[in-house]
Amino acid sequence: MQSTAAFALEFPEQLAPVAETDRADVRVEMKLAADGRVLRVKVLSSSQPELDKEVIETLRGWHFSPQVKNGVDVEATVLRGFVFAEGAPVDSEPRLSQSPGALSYRRGDPEPQRTYPMQSIFIEDDPADTPVALPNEIWLGYSLKSASAERKLGQGVLLDVVTDASGAVMAARDAGSAPAILLKRALPSGFWRNARFEPGYRGTAPVAARVRVPVRFYLPTNPMRLKEPEHPREMNGVAGRVAFRLIVEADGQVHDLKILASTDPRFEASIIEAFSQRQEPAERLGKPVAMSVELRYTFRPRS
């Protein structure tokens, strides 16, 4: 491959990643920020030094899967190897198999599908009102601090995502011109660890490949922000916990509040009184929607 001018190599088509033990045309040292941004690239060895500038320019345009220490994303320096390739297209692109978001919406489904087991949030959709599904779409729930920022959620973000031969997310970047506040929220730590893809294939072999992923946002309801339950007087000095489920309709009305578990029945009345009042509904694409939420509330001891 000859270089005639400064340009960015297509990644991973022309700059294909290889395993640490495999032969590499170029090996680099990258310093990654905690959010995966590339802070610095240094070429350690290369079979074509005339392409070093292009290699650096290419890699600096991506966010890479951040390093994790004690469950927290951290700034770190990593070593990576690549081979120069001819840019042949894959026969099949990666396909999203597990979303990092709380929900996956599909027109015609009788119920929305929960895709992230750490959250217990469901949109109670009328299937006729469900947004038309986009290929490989991801929905993420975020609550921003200003109304102007919240309005931007409707824009969504288009990502270019690179997966390795196993389907794990290796790198991602903005494929359009998303506001920085949205791009940051489109690539939370959970994205790297929880999004999974069926890998791309060239012939019968799985390979690193790139795919376009639309990320859309919704604003979840948050009953906790409106009223704190009263600690029962007879339980002063006693801690307790109550798990419960409720549905907040699009007009904010609450129904089907159900206690799932509690450490003492005397805490349950306080939960029912506090969370039966009208709530702020969830929003999606600028419209209020009904949402079912499972919550846990802890009563702290009082003297």
pLDDT above 50 for 194? yes
Q: How many domains does the chain have?
A: 3
Confidence of residue 257 (pLDDT cuts 50, 70, 90): very high
Mean pLDDT calculated for residue range 266-279: 90
One domain, residues 100 and 213 = yes
Residue 127 domain flag: yes
CA distance linking residue 36 with residue 265, whole number of Å: 47
Answer for the pair 150, 219: CB distance below 8 angstroms, yes or no.
yes
Give the chain's radius of gyration (CA, Å).
24
Residue 150 domain flag: yes
Residue 6 domain flag: no
Tokens of 221: 């309801």
User: What residues make up the domain containing 50?
Assistant: 15-84
pLDDT tens-digit series, residues 117-170: 334 555 555 555 566 667 888 877 766 555 455 555 566 789 999 999 999 999
Answer for the pair 215, 172: CB distance below 8 angstroms, yes or no.
no
Specify burial of residue 216 (Cβ count, 10 A radius: 0-12, 13-18, 19+): buried
CA distance linking residue 166 with residue 190, whole number of Å: 18
Answer for the pair 17, 80: CB distance below 8 angstroms, yes or no.
yes
Give the H or E element holding residue 288. Answer: strand 287-289
End of a domain among 178, 199, 219?
Answer: 219
pLDDT score of 137: 80
One domain, residues 209 and 291 = no
One domain, residues 177 and 138 = yes
pLDDT score of 218: 75
DSSP state string for 121-133: EEE---GGGSPPP
Confidence of residue 12 (pLDDT cuts 50, 70, 90): very high
Q: What is the CATH number of the domain that holds 58?
A: 3.30.2420
One domain, residues 27 and 133 = no
One domain, residues 99 and 214 = yes
pLDDT score of 272: 92
pLDDT score of 183: 80
pLDDT score of 295: 84
User: In one letter, which amino acid is 66?
Assistant: P
One domain, residues 213 and 228 = no
End of a domain among 186, 219, 252?
Answer: 219
pLDDT tens-digit series, residues 52-86: 999 999 999 999 999 988 888 899 999 999 999 98
One domain, residues 158 and 189 = yes
One domain, residues 71 and 100 = no
Phi and psi angles of residue 199, each rounded to the nearest 5 degrees, phi first? -65, 160
